């Protein structure tokens, strides 16, 4: 009986992964059956670019999650650019970015190496680094290498209580990714329909209707040209985040959605904090695992509070420019 009980969590997770894949399959099947007599509106074509750079001030680097591109940060870019020289690269092996060399096996360290090369090419030494999900894990590895002035993480990957549970989650993500990648040619048809966006984005964001349909279509097309994702998800649970000693010169803020449906705080956030002692924790309601489109102003505020405090500590005589009422979010009364 004990053996059977211990198998139940893994069986449940595998079932959940299968259901996630089934949801994607059902959405695709429904789209194939539905016919509309009138022509459907044409969505804006989103160009594929390897990175984004804009704004002025101290350098700020934004790192996205697995399978995405830099464009996931678009909702917060105008708010951050008023204070920082923002650099948002697409991770190596993802759509629009450089591929990993054939002899390099996909891994967190390989992606971190690639991001370091991107920073060097952009002339960035140490920067404020912000990461979401996989990007959060890479941000911590960059901090370990001395490249971070500060770190802000949103639902970072890298730690877990059960490797079996995370393996099941990775399996579900990989199957869903493959299924949607095969529908890249129908990305516009999928993204145009509100019910399809709500269904397919339900685990990612809290407010699917706030996601731009054209951006969602672009993200589906990007999956077809992201060769690192499948191999990475097969091995990602073999080497969890290593212990990262606290560093007063590099403050770390960890922001976790109260209802993260992909990597919940109790199973992933708590062990991550054990591996990153001294990190500040913020629990955030009303957002999902990828929170930038859910609450752009709140996400920007949580970033600027940290970066502003570090910049003031290093440059007390720095001229401060107004954001809204003449103060940074951290200075507001």
Taking the C-alpha atoms of residue 18 and residue 224, their distance in angstroms, rounded to an integer, is 21
Query: Is 133 in the active site?
Result: yes
Q: Are 275 and 243 in contact (CB under 8 A)?
A: yes
Q: Which of 17, 133, 219, 293 is catalytic?
A: 133
Tokens of 69: 């591109």
Query: Is 113 in the active site?
Result: no
Q: Which residue has the tokens 């993802």?
A: 94
Tokens of 311: 């910049």
Q: Which of 17, 188, 219, 260 is catalytic?
A: 260
Taking the C-alpha atoms of residue 126 and residue 62, their distance in angstroms, rounded to an integer, is 13
Query: Is 249 in the active site?
Result: no
Answer left, alpha or beta for residue 96, where phi above 0 means left and psi between -120 and 50 means alpha. Answer: left
Give φ, ψ of 318 to 5 degrees. -65, 135
CA 18 to chain centre: 23
Percent composition of the chain: helix, strand, coil (DSSP 3-state, to 5): 50, 10, 40
Burial letters for 101-133: b for 16+ Cβ neighbours within 10 Å, e otherwise? eeebebbbebbbbbbbebbeeeebebbbbbbbb
269 burial level (CB within 10 Å; 0-12, 13-18, 19+): buried
Q: Which of 94, 289, 294, 311 is catalytic?
A: 289
Task: Assign 85 to helix, strand or coil.
Answer: strand
Length of the chain: 333
Catalytic residues: 133, 260, 289
């Amino acid at each position: 009986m004990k053996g059977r009980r211990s198998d139940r969590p893994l069986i449940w997770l595998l079932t959940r992964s299968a259901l996630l894949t089934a949801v994607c399959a059902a959405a695709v099947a429904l789209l194939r059956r539905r016919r509309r007599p009138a022509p459907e509106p044409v969505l804006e074509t989103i160009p594929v670019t390897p990175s984004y750079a804009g704004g002025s001030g101290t350098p700020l680097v934004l790192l996205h999650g697995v399978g995405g591109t830099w464009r996931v940060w678009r909702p917060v870019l105008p708010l951050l650019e008023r204070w920082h020289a923002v650099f948002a690269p697409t991770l190596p092996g993802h759509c629009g970015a450089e591929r990993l060399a054939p002899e390099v096996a996909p891994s967190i360290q390989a992606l971190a190496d690639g991001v370091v090369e991107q920073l060097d090419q952009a002339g960035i030494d140490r920067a404020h680094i912000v990461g979401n999900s996989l990007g959060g894990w890479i941000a911590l590895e960059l901090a370990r290498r001395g490249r971070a002035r500060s770190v802000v993480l949103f639902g970072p990957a890298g730690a877990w209580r059960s490797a079996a549970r995370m393996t099941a989650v990775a399996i579900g993500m990989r199957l869903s990714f493959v299924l949607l990648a095969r529908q890249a040619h129908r990305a516009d048809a999928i993204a145009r329909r509100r019910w399809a966006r709500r269904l397919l984005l339900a685990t990612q964001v809290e407010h699917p209707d706030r996601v731009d349909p054209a951006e969602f279509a672009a993200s589906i097309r990007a999956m077809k040209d992201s060769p690192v994702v499948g191999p990475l998800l097969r091995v990602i649970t073999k080497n969890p985040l290593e212990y990262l000693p606290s560093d007063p010169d590099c403050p770390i803020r960890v922001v976790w959605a109260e209802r993260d449906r992909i990597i919940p705080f109790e199973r992933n956030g708590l062990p991550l904090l054990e591996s990153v002692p001294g990190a500040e924790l913020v629990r955030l309601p009303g957002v999902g695992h990828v929170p930038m489109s859910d609450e752009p102003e709140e996400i920007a505020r949580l970033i600027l509070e940290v970066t502003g405090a570090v910049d003031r500590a290093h440059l007390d005589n720095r001229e401060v420019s107004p954001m809204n009422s003449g103060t940074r979010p951290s200075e507001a009364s």
